[in-house]
Amino acid sequence: MANSVLTAPATASAPANPYITAQRQFDQAAAILELDPGLRAVLREVRREFTVNFPVRMDDGTIRVFTGYRVQHNLTRGPAKGGIRYHPQVSLDEVKALSMWMTWKCALTNLPFGGAKGGVICDPTRMSQKELENMTRRFASEISLLIGPESDIPAPDVNTNPQTMAWIMDTISMEKGYSVPAVVTGKPLSIGGSEGRPAATGRGVTVVTLEACARMGWNPSECSVAIQGFGNVGSVSAELLAEQGFKVVAVSDVFGGIYNSEGLDVPALLEHHRRTGRVGGFAGSRQEISNSALLELPVTILIPAALENQFSIDNAARVQAKLIVEAANGPTTPEADDIFHQRGVTVIPDILANAGGVTVSYFEWVQDLQSYFWEETEINSRLTKIMQRTYQQMDDLAREHRTTLRMGAYCLAVKRVADATAVRGIYP
Ligand code: NAD
């Protein structure tokens, strides 16, 4: 199992490679589970990685070539599932890591899916709607070799949204000659989307935060919360946590953050964000702060809801929160994880904390396949039940193995995929 990349953990000067982080997390769980070496070798690599370079006509008439990826880590338990990200820093290793995390997330929540992820290297903030549509449609066409309701089902991620999913669904449907709503989830309601999907990830974050607080004996009204990232996941988390009585004191986006130790008026902040497109300049803020300062505020609960590698060997010792809820994927490097463990900081791992999105995506896929749609109350109650049950199972395994919640979650997830792989056997 020797792999030289594993000997290169993150240092103060080099940001962690997310794929190495994902493999190190898997190796740790495989060691606890005493997993068969053959199974380890299979599960620590992605199954398929697909790179496409494709032309897009821009508004000024020029042609630009974009690079995109679709990676499938595992398909043993069902079709691959995972979002599509648009960002200048998208890389093949980032997409590989995200696809592996999707496999564990789906197995952890016991959804009948494998893991995948996609991404396009681009800066959507500098592109028009028409350019984004052209890029999305051509990318969808390029990856149509892989995606489909039975094989691989994309969803929104950073800088993609229900409109992006509608363009993908329409492109695939035009190529087939009939509507294929189940090819993507996170679609608008009018074309087979699900009630509750836009808020699902933030709702899941809220459910697991409440579960953690109940176990710690904390009252939400006594807990201050800082949230990094105010997109789909961060803003809904802020809204629902405030509704539950938590005091949201700081939030941020790519431009920077705001802080008021007395608490922010979240409904007014959401309105300000809708109007201006950023959290900065909000009248209820007492102080503008940087994204890195937000992570070190004296708060009870910290919720990273932006990108990977936010907690590293550089800042983990300065984090003052007692509970970290990983709404983002991969925000904590293994070195930071060790520091948090030593310092008694509880971390609810990404593969559970943000699993609400894929759970309701599963409900959406089921509804599309049956052409029978459920009410939002039913969706929210099923989601809550799955998140609460999985939290308990993770907690039980963490206690049994005397390890972190992350490793408790990994043990449950990796064992499910390993068992499925073993019983299916090796083809041919
Ligand atoms: P989004 O594009 O809706 O929002 C991202 C937010 O992060 C924005 O507020 C943006 O301004 C901010 N941001 C971007 N770069 C930043 C930086 N360098 N520093 C600070 N803030 C920055 O994306 P999202 O869908 O909310 O996803 C956020 C995270 O949640 C990602 O890690 C994603 O993989 C994860 N996630 C999303 C879903 C989902 O359903 N959308 C599901 C599971 C996990």
117 catalytically annotated: yes
Contacts of 278 (CB under 8 A, 6+ apart): 253, 255
Instruction: List, in sequence order, the alpha helices (H) in 50-150.
Output: 92-108, 129-142
Per-residue pLDDT, 14: 75
Per CATH, 46-180 and 200-353 having the same topology is answered yes
The Cα–Cα gap between 351 and 138 comes to: 30
What's the chain's Rg over C-alpha atoms?
21
pLDDT in tens, the chain (428 residues): 333 333 344 445 578 999 999 999 999 999 999 999 999 999 999 999 999 999 999 999 999 999 999 999 999 999 999 999 999 999 999 999 999 999 999 999 999 999 999 999 999 999 999 999 999 999 999 999 999 999 999 999 999 999 999 999 999 999 999 999 999 999 999 999 999 999 999 999 999 999 999 999 999 999 999 999 999 999 999 999 999 999 999 999 999 999 999 999 999 999 999 999 999 999 999 999 999 999 999 999 999 999 999 999 999 999 999 999 999 999 999 999 999 999 999 999 999 999 999 999 999 999 999 999 999 999 999 999 999 999 999 999 999 999 999 999 999 999 999 999 999 999 99
pLDDT at residue 292, as a whole number? 97
Residue of 254, 350, 359, 363 best suited for mutating to test ligand 1, as the one with most atoms within 8 Å of CB: 254
Burial label for 106, CB within 10 Å (0-12, 13-18, 19+), is buried
User: Helix or strand or coil: residue 401?
Assistant: coil
Q: What pLDDT does residue 294 have?
A: 98
- Please give the distance of CA 209 from its chain centroid, rounded to a whole number: 16
Q: Where are the domains of the chain?
A: 46-180, 200-353
DSSP 8-state secondary structure symbol assigned to residue 318: G
Taking CA atoms only, the protein residue closest to ligand 1 atom 42 is: 357
Residue minimizing CA distance to atom 29 of ligand 1: 328
Rounded to 10 degrees, the C-alpha dihedral 350/356/362/368 comes to: -140
Amino acid at 378: E
> Is the domain 46-180 a CATH 3.40.50.10860 member?
yes
**Residues in the ligand 1 pocket, defined by CB under 6 Å:** 156-159, 201, 228-234, 252-254, 291, 305-307, 327-329, 354, 357
User: Among all chains, which residue has been given the structure tokens 């995390």?
Assistant: 101
Q: How far is the CA of 177 from the centre of ligand 1 (A)?
A: 34
pLDDT number for residue 381: 98
Show Cβ contacts of residue 398 under 8 Å, excluding neighbours closer than 6 positions. Answer: 404, 405, 407, 408, 409
The pLDDT assigned to 12 comes to 53
CATH 3.40.50.720 fits 200-353, yes or no: yes
CA-nearest of 285, 291, 300, 179 to 246 is: 300
Residue 342 Cα, ligand 1 centroid: separation in angstroms?
Answer: 28
What pLDDT, on a 0 to 100 scale, did the predictor assign at position 13? Answer: 52
